[in-house]
Structure 1
Amino acid sequence: MKKDDQTVTEATALHSFDAMLTTYERWAQPCSQTFSRAALDGAALPVGATILDVCAGMGALAVPAAELGHRGWAIDVSPGMIERAAERLKPHAGWSTEVMDALDLHFGDNEFDAAFSVLGVVYFGPETGTALEQMVRVVRPGGVISVVNWAEPLGATFFIPVSRAVDRFDDPEVGKFVAPLTEFLEGPQLERALSGAGCVDVRSESVSGHFAVPSAEIFMEELDSVFQVLPQYRAAIAKDRDRFRDILVEEVLLMASKELPPARANIAYGRVPTPQETVGSSGLATS
């Protein structure tokens, strides 16, 4: 994957997520945790299951999983995120955290009952399949694999005013806003990814939630570290920060005067085939 492709790699995530810890916890963590709880509900695991949370961030899935009585590991490439996840998991026995590359899981085969990745490995572009295969490898036959991704190209609701402000800035050197997400935005796409990684009994569902957006007075300062991943945002700030800020404030105020649209995501689930099953090239199980 290349930075020019606007896909998120493990290397770029290491720097960007460590730089936005406080902001992420305040504004992004609630979204991730809502979708994580929905994924856990949909997986219907027995109490006491052993879970691997891949690209765990601050433990958006690991923490509610621990509250449900599960145990396991939370791994992420970002040291800052994993440190915060470890703090949040301290009250819960049976959980470990580690800085680890999702493309090279340091676990043996069949170690877990389930593996989840919420807003994580689906950002790896061509390497998404490799990450999913790693998840399948470490989950026992019959176990669950689940991935979550946004259902909209913008992702979180607070990107809406930024996209509109970039277009209103109307500078040829900045260009029009380009949505950061382009892949796996539909349930069937997620299902095909799981099937391609070797899962069977694949299905998906849509979830949504309403989340707060910061006030215009703090919007730019509060979320600047998040928006730095967007090339058009960086270009507009570099060109004329004050003018762009004024436009952005207007868009935030306009958005605040209306009913906010819900943030939408898709959750896909698959099962690791048992030894009695074989998976053909189509991804369909036969016995």
Structure 2
Amino acid sequence: MTQFAADSGTSLYERMGERTTQPFALRVLDGLGAIANRSVIDIAAGTGGLAVAAAERGAFVTATDVSAAMVKRAAERLLPFQGSRAQIEDFRALTIPDAQFDISISIFGVLAFAAWRQGIAEMARVTRRGGQIALAMWTHGDDCSPAHVMRRAFRNTFPERELWPADLFPLFSENSLTASAREAGLVGVEVQVATAEWCPFSSADVVRECDPMFKGFPGYSALVTHETVAMHKALAEAFQSYADAHGIIRLPTKAFVVHGRKA
């Protein structure tokens, strides 16, 4: 995802965002099978966590994102890999000719936005016939990610407010994702719920650790001082409900992983 799009946010996203999403990026790659010497486009790639992992497996990767700062960082990380690069692209209208890639991927990118249908259509367009397409997105069920823990605590504390815009993080089901992928021209569509475990760097300081990341959400960033104090208390309690006997927070995260092929 790319909600932390400013230059100051790239290191934060790489350190914190990828800590949450990378287990699912690897799950997506595992589902593709051998990708060595195949061309891959990573759409809404952020700082390039998946792109680098794919390049390490021998793929020729083009990482794209609408944020120049994200693309710059992804390009830096891809420098060691011959044939891989990064470029600025809007996933809604890629400036890439048809049928250029063997594989198109977007994890927590295309499916996070209201224009996701356009995004899937563009992924299919730039993929060769018979090529693979893969996506991932949070299930939105329960506390499926640290951001969703935040949303629950925020709603409980400020029930009349919204943490993030209504058109961010659309709701999906396995059936709706399957249907949408088929409508975009994909065949052999499989949707699975993948799980991972998220632990903060410091369970004792989990709220302070997550604070910079959560400031990317409008509802949170708009809080005044006394509201922030109340929010931090609620958030600490929400996270601590996942602490084990040793006080280590272990949050079970869940995401849809979608695989299909272009007809």
TM range (shorter): 0.7 to 0.9
Aligned to 2:104: 115
Is 1:165–1:251's contact at 8 Å kept on the other side of the alignment?
yes
1:126-165 deviations in Å (ceiling 9; x for gaps): x211111111111111111111111234675323553454
Report deviation, 1:217. Answer: 5.4
Equivalent residue letter for 2:25 = S
Task: Could you tell me which runs of 5 or more consecutive residues in structure 1 were left unpaired when the two chains were aligned.
Answer: 1-7, 274-287
Partners in 2 of 1:85 and 1:272 — Cα distance? 27
Provide the identity percentage. 28
Match of 1:145 among 125, 133, 145: 133
Choose the corresponding residue for 2:182, options 172, 184, 195: 195
The 3 A distance-change label for structure 1 pair 102 and 88 is same
Q: Out of 3, 22, 26, which is 2:11 matched to?
A: 22
Q: Distance in 2 between matches of 1:164 and 1:101?
A: 31
- The answer on whether the counterparts of 1:143 and 1:272 sit within 8 Å (CA) in structure 2 is yes
With over 3 angstroms needed to count, the CA separation of the structure-2 counterparts of 1:269 and 1:251, relative to structure 1, is: closer
Report the secondary structure of 1:91's partner residue.
coil
1:92 aligned partner: 81
Post-superposition offset of 1:37: 1.4
Higher-Rg member (1/2): 1
Conserved 8 A contact 1:147-1:190: no
Which amino acid in 2 is paired with 1:266? Answer: F
Deviations 1:185-221 (A, max 9, x none): x332222121111111211222111121243654344
Counterpart residue number, 1:241:
228
Number of residues of Structure 1 aligned to a counterpart in Structure 2: 257
Out of 39, 64, 68, the position equivalent to 2:53 is: 64
Matched ranges for 1:1-287 at <5 A: 13=2, 16-18=4-6, 19-125=8-114, 127-153=115-141, 157-159=145-147, 161-167=149-155, 169=157, 171=158, 175=161, 181-184=169-172, 186-215=173-202, 218-237=205-224, 240-257=227-244, 260-273=250-263
**Is the contact between residue 112 and residue 170 of structure 2 (CA under 8 Å) also seen in structure 1?**
no
Question: Structure 1 pair 91/176, CA: closer, same or farther in 2 (3 Å)?
Answer: closer
- How far the C-alpha of 1:166 sits from its partner, in A, is 2.8
Task: Measure the CA separation in 2 of the matches of 1:153 and 1:231.
Answer: 22
1:227-248 Cα distance to aligned partner (Å, 9 max, x none): 2344443454455333333343
Describe the SS at the equivalent of 2:4: helix
Please provide the CA RMSD for this pair: 2.8
1:223 is matched by which residue type in structure 2? Answer: C
TM-score, scaled to structure 1: 0.78
Q: Which amino acid aligns with 1:202?
A: V
Distance 1:271 1:253, change over 3 A: closer
- C-alpha deviation, 1:84, in angstroms: 1.6
Pairwise CA distance, 1:42: 0.9
How far, CA to CA, are the matches of 1:210 and 1:196 in structure 2?
A: 33
- State the SS of the aligned residue for 2:46: coil
> CA, structure 1 residues 89+240, in 2 after alignment: closer, same or farther (shift >3 Å)?
same
What residue ranges of structure 2 are gaps of 5+ in the alignment?
A: none
Structure 2 distance, partners of 1:37, 1:114, is: 15
> Following TM superposition, by how much is the alpha carbon of 1:80 offset from its aligned partner in structure 2, in angstroms?
1.8
* Cα 1:230–1:68 shift into 2, 3 Å: same
Judging changes above 3 Å, is the alpha-carbon distance between structure 1 residues 215 and 42 closer, same or farther for their aligned structure 2 residues? same
Alignment TM-score, normalising by the size of structure 2: 0.84
